[in-house]
Each structure stands twice: as structure tokens, then as C-alpha cells.
Structure 1
Amino acid sequence: MMQTDVAQRFIFDNTDIRGERVQLNASLQEALAPHAYPQMIKELLGELAAAAVLLSTTLKFEGRMTLQARSSGPVSLLMVECTDQRTFRGIARWDDEQLTPTTTGLHALLPDGHLVITIDPVKGARYQGLVALEGENLAESLSSYFAQSEQLPTRLWLSCDGNQAGGFLLQALPASKDADAKTTAERWQHVTFLADTLKQDELQSLPTVDLLHRLYHEEEDVRLFDAQEVKYVCNCSRERTGNALATVAPADLREMLEEQGQIDMDCQFCNTRYTFTEQDVASLLGEGETRH
């Protein structure tokens, strides 16, 4: 049975270019299921999820990468977290009053928007980069960020229909010592020009081997690696929620208990509810008995 939630790396053996293909199907549907997202937000969040997985594969680190788009428009927040193990989760916030059926396109949904890329490695320093959402779509905005930065030349292509998402990435690696600069530039222009012919449905559902054959059937040096599974995973837990609750001032916790009888904490990503009773809160505070 063909896998539909995968990331798959490929390289052009005779040139300094690598690529990555991502397909999200059941994993994306799991991420979207806890929320009643409008269609246009499903599509944007799906594209962002594909982008997060693609970009995480370019990094050699152990930890988490977060893509977070914010704006003052109809969509105030889009956020996807992705780990080095190719697991992801996502969330969106929007204003129903501003969001209408005619509100379409990146600039209408996120006017004056920006995207923050945050890398939280298990070891090492935290890194953040800022991306202005100036392109016609999310893929163009991210590609422009790489073009303007001092990082390796990178292009992305993204697509989502609200149920499945696809992403395609090409990246120019550091040139080998004997590489001719002109030939390298021409080769990069050639492979990206062909990728620009990708259609939306091909990005989403065409198997990677077929997609690469369609684009580069005249190229004899494309080597495709084994597919790696991508999963939707929300890493919330009762323990982590309790630890967060324990940072609240004890007086505030007792006031909440007096008003509500218990404290309910909902995960914003998966909508799982964690309930803490008076006894639970006393345990969190390290009290032998609950004070009144």
C-alpha cells in the first residue's frame, strides 16, 4: 500500500543540488480534526505544515522547529511545530467577522503579516528568523526569505486542498571545489524552472517517483532515497499541563477552585481537556492538605 504521509529526500548526483518531497494526508486530517476551521484556513495551515516538515529536513539538529505567522487581519495566527522525528502539530486563530467567502489569498487573510521561524535544539542556542509575508503565497514568501538571506539558495512549492497537502523543496548545496560557477548557476536555473511547472494536484497526490520522472525524466542523475514517515503528534500531557499550572500563583489557583470547583485546562492544539480537582492542586503546590 502506497504511503501518503511521508518525506522523501533526493539528490542530483552530478551537481550540488538536493531536494525534498513531502505528502500529508491522514496526518493533516488528524491535525485539523479537533477544530472547525473554514476551508481557506485548512488550506493555509496545510501549506504551513508541509513547509515546516520540508524545512526541518534541511536542518541537522535534535529538537523542535516552529513556524508562526501573525497578522492584524482575518487570520491572526497560524502555527505549526515540527520535530526532528518528523512529527508535527498545528493551530490557527481567526476572526469570523473579518473572514468572508470573498476573503481569499495570502495578503487578504494575513495583511502586513510576518512569519517567525524558531529553532529550539535540545543542545545549543535557540535561533529565530523573521520572514515578511510579501510573496503571492506562502511558498513565495519563504523562497524570498532564503533569497534575501545569506543561507543556501532554496525554493519551495506548496499546495493544500484542505484534506491533503504537498510540498517540494530544492536547495543548492555548497559548491564543490571543482564546480564551475556558471554551470552551477545554469543547473540551478534549469531544475527550478522545471519545478515551476508543477500543478497543484501533482504536488498533493502524485507519488514522488512519478513526480520526479515527470519533471526530470531527461536527467539521469536523480537519486531518490527511502521515504520517511510523517506523523501528527500532540505532545501535551497531564504532567506537562500540571507543571504549567504549578507556575500560577497559589492564591489565584485557590480563587479559581472556589469559583469553579475544579480547574479545566484545554490543549489549544488537540482540544484535550485536563481536569484538576482541589486535591490535585494541593499536590501540585506540595501541600499535605488543601488550605481554605
Structure 2
Amino acid sequence: MNDTLRKYLFNDRSVRIQTVNLNQTWHDMLEHQSYHPILRHLLGELSAAAVLLASNIKFDGSLILQLQGDGPIALIVVECNQQLQVRATIKIRQEFAIKDTDNLQSLLNANRNGRFIVVLDPKNRQEGQQAYQGVVPLVGDTVAEVLALYMKSSEQLDTRLYLAANEQKVTGLLLQRLPHGGGQEVDSETAESAWTRAVMLTETIKPSEQLEIDEETLIHRLFWEENLLAYEPQPVEWHCDCSRERVANMLKMLGVEEVESILSEQNEVKVNCEFCGKAYVFDAIDSAQLFIPNTPQQEENPQKH
């Protein structure tokens, strides 16, 4: 089954429900990476959250979620564009050891300098135009709590997120109280009742349940008594725009002396994409060709990644 984002509305349009599953996307994300299970868990949950939130932003560009820390984790970044294409990375401080007892706060906010950052980056940014950036302290014990508090403070929207991740699957459910009935006349008492009922139902979700069953089944179990409006599912996929040509251009910018210095020490130049982890290897011949004018870079040899 393809990875999908699904959207639903309560019949009175007072409550939005969204689900996302990242199975193939998650596999692709981890293909060239090896993370400690705790780091993998945080990255998976933030990835699901990014897709759920990006799908509601109507602009041509990317939503970037960042957990920036002062502990073992320096940065976790997830980017999701308007086409629901995702990429992500983690930057770790090598002088720290990750312990099995660590959690979000100990990994990112040990000295209370951690930050949660939301960036809206337009695709065709004009000269001098700055991307929108919202920065708040890192408050909460889970990714879901951090995001819910941010949404409440920045958009004044009651939001609940239910996120789960393991080595095989990432999944998420978003519940959001809408400010009005989408054009329908809904009295405040009815809307309040709908929201209270929706929260009570979703609070019964356990991460293990999210990981064991598909999202459509979960929605049916939770809201079988509700008359939900369902939208067409949207595909989600992993996308990293790294390439051998891009790496070659980066090495050209380093200059021939720097590249030759690396070759003399290591006999090759190896560059790993910071997002997907894919390795690009340039031997002495490849490196020499970088500085020959008008020499195109071939797609990577299967022996060279």
C-alpha cells in the first residue's frame, strides 16, 4: 500500500481529523542511516507531524520542523513540501553517548536552551524575502506535546497529535478544533460538544494500536458513530534531491588543493548526504575530472555509493 494522508471532517465542520502512514517513506528514510532506537523514534514522530501539518498550509513551498538542542542532539530537521515529499536528518554531538534511558528533554534540552522552530520556506523566494520562522522554548515531554503547545500559542487552535513509530512504521493522527463551521451555522454549544466527544474518543488511542492496524480501521473504530466527510487520500513519499552532480559542484567549490589534500590522506573523497545518508565516492580519476572544463558528471556507479 502506498503511503497516504487522509482527511476527514465532522459533519458540522467543527472538527478536522487527519491520519498519515509512512511505511515506504520511512524505509527510504532509513535506508542509508543507522540511528539509535530513541533517535529513530523522535525522528519518526516528527516526520509524521510534519506531513500532518504541511497538508493544511496553502502556499508553494516547504514546512520545516526543527528540534534544536543543547544536549546529545544538536538538531533534528524534517522538511515536507506542498507535494507531501519528505526528507529529514539528525545532527548528533559525538562527544555525548546516547543512553537507553534518555528522552526528548534529556537529549535536546538538558540546559534549558532547547528550541522548537517552525519555518515556512517559499519555493520561489524573492530577493530579500525572508522565510517565516517561529521559535518557542522546547516545552513538553513528547513530540506531540511540543507541537500541540506550539499550535495553541501560535494559531490559537486546539490541536491533539497522536504519533507512533518503530523500525517498520511511522503513523500519526491529528485532531483539530476549527474556528467555525466552514460556512455552516453551528452554535457554540454543539461545536463544544463535538470537540469534547472527539477528544474523549482519540484519548483512548495507544501507540501500539496505531502501529498494529491501518489508519482507516483506526478511524472506523474511533468514529463509527459519527457521520464523517472523507476527502480523497493524498500520496506521501520520501524525496531527497542530492545527486552526484551536486556533490561534484560542492567539491569544485572546495578547490583542487583541498580535494588533493583529502585524496593524499584517504585515497578517495567520500561525501555522505546529510539528509538521506547516501555516500558519494570520488577516486583520484573522478577527482581529477572535476577540474577539467566541461566534463559532465555521470550518474553514480553502483560500486560508488
TM-score bracket for the superposition, by shorter chain length: 0.7 to 0.9
Residue 204 of structure 1 is aligned with which of 211, 225, 230?
A: 211
- Asked if 1:61 is matched to 2:59, the reply is yes
Match of 1:272 in 2: 279
* Higher mean C-alpha displacement, 173-182 vs 79-88: 173-182
Preserved CA contact (<8 Å) 1:114 1:130:
yes
Identity of aligned residues (%): 33
Q: How far does the alpha carbon of each residue in 1:262-292 deviate from its partner, in whole angstroms, 9 at most, with x for none?
A: 754331122231536233235389xxxxxxx
The Cα of 1:4 is off from its aligned counterpart by 5.6
Aligned mates of 1:258, 1:28 — CA distance in 2: 37
Match of 2:91 in 1: 93
The Cα of 1:244 is off from its aligned counterpart by 4.2
- Asked if 1:15 is matched to 2:13, the reply is yes
- Asked if 1:36 is matched to 2:34, the reply is yes
Preserved CA contact (<8 Å) 2:164 2:207:
yes
SS of 1:183's equivalent in the other structure is helix
Aligned mates of 2:155, 2:23 — CA distance in 1: 34
TM superposition score normalised by structure 2: 0.82
Match of 1:257 in 2: 259
Classify 1:190/1:57 alpha carbon distance in 2 versus 1 (closer, same or farther; 3 Å). Answer: same
Aligned mates of 1:44, 1:284 — CA distance in 2: 44
Paired residues in the alignment total 277
Aligned mates of 1:205, 1:5 — CA distance in 2: 16
Preserved CA contact (<8 Å) 1:131 1:141:
no
Residue 192 of structure 1 is aligned with which of 199, 206, 209?
A: 199
TM superposition score normalised by structure 1: 0.85
* Higher mean C-alpha displacement, 269-278 vs 134-143: 269-278
Q: Which runs of 5+ in 1 are unaligned?
A: 286-292
Preserved CA contact (<8 Å) 2:14 2:194:
no
SS of 1:187's equivalent in the other structure is helix
Q: Which runs of 5+ in 2 are unaligned?
A: 296-305
SS of 1:23's equivalent in the other structure is strand
- Asked if 1:281 is matched to 2:288, the reply is no
* Higher mean C-alpha displacement, 167-176 vs 275-284: 275-284
**Superposed structure 1 runs of 4+ greater than 6 Å apart:** none
Q: How far does the alpha carbon of each residue in 1:235-280 deviate from its partner, in whole angstroms, 9 at most, with x for none?
A: 112333344455x4xxx51321331347543311222315362332
RMSD of equivalent CA atoms = 2.4
Aligned mates of 1:162, 1:266 — CA distance in 2: 22
Aligned mates of 2:179, 2:4 — CA distance in 1: 26
Match of 2:165 in 1: 160
Q: Counterparts of 1:70-219 in structure 2 under 5 Å?
A: 70-95=68-93, 97-103=96-102, 105-111=103-109, 112=112, 113-123=114-124, 126-176=131-181, 178-219=185-226
Aligned mates of 1:200, 1:258 — CA distance in 2: 51
* Higher mean C-alpha displacement, 262-271 vs 197-206: 262-271
